[in-house]
Amino acid sequence: MQVLDRIDGFRKELDTARADGKAVGLVLTMGYLHDGHTSLIRRSAEECDLTAVTVFVNPLQFGANEDLDRYPRDVERDVAIAADAGAEIVFAPPVEEMYPTGPVLTSIHVADVSEGMEGAVRPGHFDGVATVVAKLFAIAGPCRAYFGEKDYQQLAVVRRMAADLSFPVDIVGCPIVREDDGLAMSSRNVFLSPEQRRAASVLYRALQAGATDLGRARQAMADTVAEEPLVQLDYAEVVETDNEYRLVIAARVGTTRLIDNLGVAK
């Protein structure tokens, strides 16, 4: 396991691997790894010759009243988990390495895909996501990049950004990993009290309710969440694609905001 914190060193290692004929897998994270992250790392390790994990809490994607300062951080723990899952490199740069000139004057906006749902609730969030992902793709070079489907809209934004800007990166979406009661794994789950943690499982129950009544899925999801007094619904939406309906939900449990989604085949 190599732990790197400089762009030049990280880029050199991946370039060397490709020069040796190795396929590179990339897993982008904000750290505090959980089983959802390790599922991405393991899949990359199965499909690629070398897997690199980035650990970077990106300030560009946090709003003024969001949880940047309290976002959980433990790089030593992350390195151990990534190594156990099959990663060979962890890139954990400080903010000043990623943004050496201070305020970032260049921003990437993915129109249409980034609007509504998270884009409406968190203005500017997806610009920050697209900008840091583009920067990391430019640093990493040709690779397969693995993303969890829990952040459904984010995955759509990244796919479109990579296609529009012709990055030599294959985007691989991976299934959501859930707790025994259905709660989607998230680094923010650590903020929940035991009582809030029990209440948070209502998000998955709401998705299931919507899936069994697609004609009124939004109302079915909202009604289910309303039964749990500790949870406040942000939105419940249905996104239609060529192959499926994707039920998408976001809610606040105390001060912690959680998102989830569920696909239903047509």
Beta strands 244-253 and 231-240 are: antiparallel
Alpha-helix runs per DSSP H in the chain: 7-19, 35-47, 75-85, 95-98, 118-121, 125-140, 152-164, 194-200, 202-211, 217-226
**Is position 34 annotated as part of the catalytic site?**
no
Q: How far apart are CA 105 and CA 137, in angstroms?
A: 19
Q: Are 121 and 250 in contact (CB under 8 A)?
A: yes
Choice among 34, 37, 109, 125 that is catalytic: 37
Residue 254 phi, psi (nearest 5): 65, -125
Q: What angle do CA 120, 125, 127 make, to 5 degrees?
A: 110
Q: Which residues are catalytic?
A: 37
